[in-house]
Amino acid sequence: MRRRVGCELKPIGLLLLFLISSELPKVQTRAIDFVCNTADRRNMNNAKDLEVAMVGCSGSDALPVTLQLPCVGILKASWDQKSLQQKSAEVIRALEVLSNGVGKVRAQAKLSCQSSVLERLEHRVKNYLHIVINLGTMGKEEATVSTPVLDCPVQQSQSLAQVLKLYNSLLQGKVEQLIKDLQNRCP
């Protein structure tokens, strides 16, 4: 007597499909949800796990090539005078510079542990880039081609610790300031 395994799994598969699909509306979020949910945003802004992972990798601080660092400092008086579109463009540009730099360095990283930390960092930066672009403060084409005037000189580094520190400063500085400027859109 042969058993038809495929038919027995069908009801279970349908049940799983139903359960997954019923949860999707709860999983899908909008960019504005990032602005309005302070606790989740603060959890996402935490770069400590990347720093811990880097420390656990022997010799992972020295990057194989120099990485261009984005401008992360804020001159409060200057920031307050900018339009929302200018602020968004500045944040997007900083995230793009960091994402491109991390991607190039990761491609040349020889240590698997270092490569893993860089990959996680690149993924997070791209997530932020996606969120900021989708906040609706400017058109998508405008967001990706804008080149704002930056308030600091170009800097470079070959230290992963310095790059992680800069990433954390970017999140706690320009990204958080942009979020504060958008919180009046929260329901």
> What distance separates the 2 farthest-apart alpha carbons in the chain?
81
Closest CA to 162 of 75, 90, 97, 66: 66
d(CA 71, CA 166): 9
Q: Which domains does the chain have, with CATH numbers?
A: 30-185 (1.20.1250.10)
Predicted pLDDT of residue 57: 79
DSSP characters over the chain = ----HHHHHHHHHHHHHHHHHHHHHHH---HHHHHH-HHHHHHHT--HHHHHHHHTSTT-SEEEEEEEEPP----HHHHHHS-HHHHHHHHHHHHHHHHHHHHHHHHH---HHHHHHHHHHHHHHHHHHHHHHTTSSS-HHHHHH--PPPSS--EEEEEHHHHHHHHHHHIIIIIHHHHHHHGGG--
pLDDT in tens, 65-123: 999 999 888 888 899 999 999 999 999 999 999 999 999 999 999 888 899 999 999 99
Q: How far apart are the first and last CA of the chain?
A: 62
123-132, 137-146, 148-157: range with lowest mean pLDDT: 137-146
pLDDT > 70? residue 11:
no
Q: Which two tokens stand for residue 131?
A: 């969120």
Alpha carbons within 13 A on the beta-carbon side of 154 = 7
d(CA 170, CA 187): 26
Predicted pLDDT of residue 15: 43
